[in-house]
Amino acid sequence: MTRILRDCVDEVGPLPGVSSKTPEVGISCSGIYEISKLLTAAAPLEITLVKVANILPTFLRMRHGAIVIWASEGEPEITASAGVADSRQSGARHTIPPAAMDQIVTTGQPLVIRETSKSELFRADPQPSLSSDTIPITFIGVPLRAAHKLVGTLWIDRFRDSATELRHNEDIRFLTMVADLIGQTIAFHRALSTSGPQIIQLHRKSAEGGRNDPSQNSRAKVDWIVGESPAVRRVLEIVSAVAMTNTTVLLRGESGTGKEFFAQAIHELSPRRKKSFVKLNCAALPEGVLESELFGHEKGAFTGAVSQRAGRFELANGGTLLLDEIGEISPAFQAKLLRVLQEGELERVGGTKTLKVDIRLVCATNKDLEAAVANGEFRADLYYRINVVPIVLPPLRERPGDISRLSKVFLDRFNRENNREHAFTAQALDLISQCYFPGNVRELENCVRRTATLARSKTIVPSDFACQNNQCLSARLWKGDGGGREGKPIDELTRGGTTPAVSPLSTQPGSVSHPEVAPFKACDPNGPACPALSPRLTERDRLIEAMEKVGWVQAKAARMLGLTPRQVGYALRRHNIEMKKF
């Protein structure tokens, strides 16, 4: 066996590019993105791996393939295959020659056989299934690791031709990255299966004995997050599950959706809650200062460094570190950050001593990281490192039932801070619940504070809101500034109407239509080019009707609805509306 393995190593040779820290993005970004969505979906591990195996042929040429997870005794525990006939009966593990499997296990490295018929590893197979004497077949197998332990293999085979040879090295890198993602998912599921009973017990104790232990009840309920909508409940379920592990979390969502509050919830529900929760906004500091803030510095490292200072990584040791706006750091600094995340060690600026750190990392961004990776603005390897469990936070417009509840909380806070006794009328709450709030929860709080500050009495009525006097300037963000409105003074833009800043797509019962739903002079709402939209349709149907009336041209639909083309594109994606081509 040793001779066969030695001969095979000589035959295969080194794998060019496999160890590259910066994989080429062109062929892998979309595939990694789609596979990441499957791996982070709420489904049993067996079903998830079957879906991954079935989607692999979409992104690389292959004949057969399988994902094999081993049990503790080395036998297959989970087998997900694509193109392997009757794999449940024979076991996909046995379609790989034992010698080939042994080499992957022994070396812990990818195994590549360009022609299986010429390999000693495959000639020795008593049941040849991946070899052919007439057609050249290539085999690629990569190891799966979970928590630094070898737990299985991912392998494919395919016919060797000019097309597969051209993408040979890229496909090896792609499979290696997929194996890394699968390994992290396996580790997460195994940790969750171990910690799951603890989570259930925690919530049971919170429900049954919360009155006797207020601190535990408060921690389990994360009462600083206000919301009872299904969207918020789903996010909190994911947060509760992921908090019991050390898995890296990437919080994604629009600005103002409360990413910092959810990061704090992850910390408070985790075993690290007794340690520090440290946060840093990466976009708020220039690169030189950011390095010192994160890694710390030694005395005399630069002008003004009059003493040694610990960085945020050191301060968060044993606890949780939140890196907000992670998508805004420069590519040069991304490489420095990657080393800390990979190896768990750093040196202070101006120092030579290596420091070990143990942190739970939570990242947050409102940036399209996939587009940034494709454009070369964000390192692909760092993206794969932080995008382990992405959690998408819902914008406020997807949780309208929480607006009145949040408004009351913000008004109570304002009253305490300013010794006031303001209260909303039912009509005022109905009005504010119809507003669009492109700035999400942050804009809602500003709206409540502005209204309470300028209210003429203790009771806040609809006429106290800025939108009732057409003075809600943020409405211009979603209505656009077209039709000759650019350059007009503010008082001219805010003169006239008396309606709330509701979304032009909103058709909720009782909502008030805005006179500027179609504010562009180039499009007459009463003319044939912009026929009236039916007021009783749902938002999705209203959007489809608008697109159909203008021949599925987003720019024209935007003018009809009083939106920007970008917002129309976002609405199409949010409602899963497929564009029609003519």
Instruction: Look at 202-211, 245-254, 332-341, 347-356 and tell me which has the smallest mean pLDDT.
Output: 202-211
Q: In this model, does residue 495 exceed pLDDT 80?
A: no
State percent of the chain over pLDDT 90: 22
Q: What is the mean pLDDT of residues 564-568?
A: 78
pLDDT tens string 281-309: 998 888 778 888 899 888 877 877 778 88
Q: What is the mean pLDDT of residues 515-542?
A: 46
Cβ contact 116:137 at 8 Å: yes
Strand partners, 355: 346
Q: Kindly report the number of other CB atoms within 10 A of residue 268's CB atom.
A: 18
**pLDDT at res. 4:** 35
Cβ contact 391:373 at 8 Å: no
Q: In this model, does residue 391 exceed pLDDT 90?
A: yes
CB under 8 Å, gap of 24 or more: what pairs does 66-73 form?
Answer: 66/92, 66/93, 66/95, 66/153, 66/154, 66/155, 67/144, 67/152, 67/153, 67/154, 67/182, 68/92, 68/93, 68/152, 68/153, 68/154, 68/155, 69/45, 69/144, 69/151, 69/152, 69/186, 70/151, 70/152
Question: Distance between CA 414 and CA 420 in Å, rounded?
Answer: 8
Could you give the count of Cα atoms lying within 13 Å of 41 in the half-sphere of its Cβ?
Answer: 17
Instruction: Look at 277-281, 389-393, 488-492 and tell me which has the smallest mean pLDDT.
Output: 488-492
pLDDT tens string 4-13: 333 333 334 4
- The answer for residues whose C-beta is within 8 angstroms of residue 184's C-beta and 6 or more apart is 146, 247, 388
What DSSP character marks residue 349? Answer: B
Strand order from edge to edge, sheet including 149-159: 76-82, 64-70, 149-159, 137-146, 111-113
Query: In terms of pLDDT, which residue wins out, 182 or 487?
Result: 182
Instruction: Say which residue the tokens 């987003």 belong to.
Output: 554
Cβ contact 359:319 at 8 Å: yes
- Which of the four pLDDT bands, split at 50, 70 and 90, describes residue 477? low
* H helices present in 40-119, as ranges: 45-55, 87-90, 98-107
- Which of the four pLDDT bands, split at 50, 70 and 90, describes residue 325? very high
Q: What is the token pair recorded at 193?
A: 């299966």
**pLDDT at res. 537:** 55
Cα 547 from chain centroid (whole Å): 29
**pLDDT at res. 475:** 63
**pLDDT at res. 326:** 93
pLDDT tens string 129-182: 555 667 888 899 999 988 778 888 999 988 888 888 888 888 888 999 899 899
- The full set of domains in the chain, from first to last, is 2-189 (3.30.450.40), 222-394 (3.40.50.300), 395-503 (1.10.8.60), 517-582 (1.10.10.60)
Report phi then psi at 182, rounded to 5: -60, -40
CA angle 329, 335, 341 (to 5 degrees): 95
Question: Distance between CA 414 and CA 179 in Å, rounded?
Answer: 51
Query: In terms of pLDDT, which residue wins out, 470 or 451?
Result: 451
Q: Which of 531, 575, 571 is nearest to 550 (CA)?
A: 531
Average pLDDT, the chain: 76
What DSSP character marks residue 356? Answer: E
Strand partners, 66: 81, 155
Cβ contact 156:137 at 8 Å: no
Q: What is the token pair recorded at 354?
A: 């290596």
Q: In this model, does residue 76 exceed pLDDT 60?
A: yes
**pLDDT at res. 107:** 87
Model pTM?
Answer: 0.52
pLDDT tens string 570-580: 788 777 787 77
Q: In this model, does residue 194 exceed pLDDT 70?
A: no
Question: Distance between CA 85 and CA 103 in Å, rounded?
Answer: 24
Question: Distance between CA 394 and CA 234 in Å, rounded?
Answer: 10
Question: Distance between CA 310 and CA 296 in Å, rounded?
Answer: 4
Cβ contact 480:562 at 8 Å: yes
Q: In this model, does residue 319 exceed pLDDT 90?
A: yes
The DSSP result for 109-148, as a single string, is: S-EEES-GGG-HHHHT-SS-SS--SSS-EEEEEEEEEETT
**pLDDT at res. 286:** 85
Question: Distance between CA 316 and CA 325 in Å, rounded?
Answer: 18
State percent of the chain over pLDDT 70: 74
- Which of the four pLDDT bands, split at 50, 70 and 90, describes residue 422? very high
**CA separation, residue 141 to residues 50, 266, 461 (Å):** 17, 36, 68
Q: In this model, does residue 383 exceed pLDDT 70?
A: yes
The distance in angstroms from the start CA to the end CA of the chain is 62
Cβ contact 206:220 at 8 Å: yes
Helix axes 403-418, 440-454, angle to 10 degrees: 50
Instruction: Look at 89-93, 324-328, 337-341, 400-404 and tell me which has the smallest mean pLDDT.
Output: 89-93
Query: In terms of pLDDT, which residue wins out, 15 or 112?
Result: 112
**pLDDT at res. 481:** 46
Q: What is the mean pLDDT of residues 539-566?
A: 82
Instruction: Say which residue the tokens 């060797």 belong to.
Output: 160
* H helices present in 13-71, as ranges: 29-39, 45-55
**pLDDT at res. 90:** 42
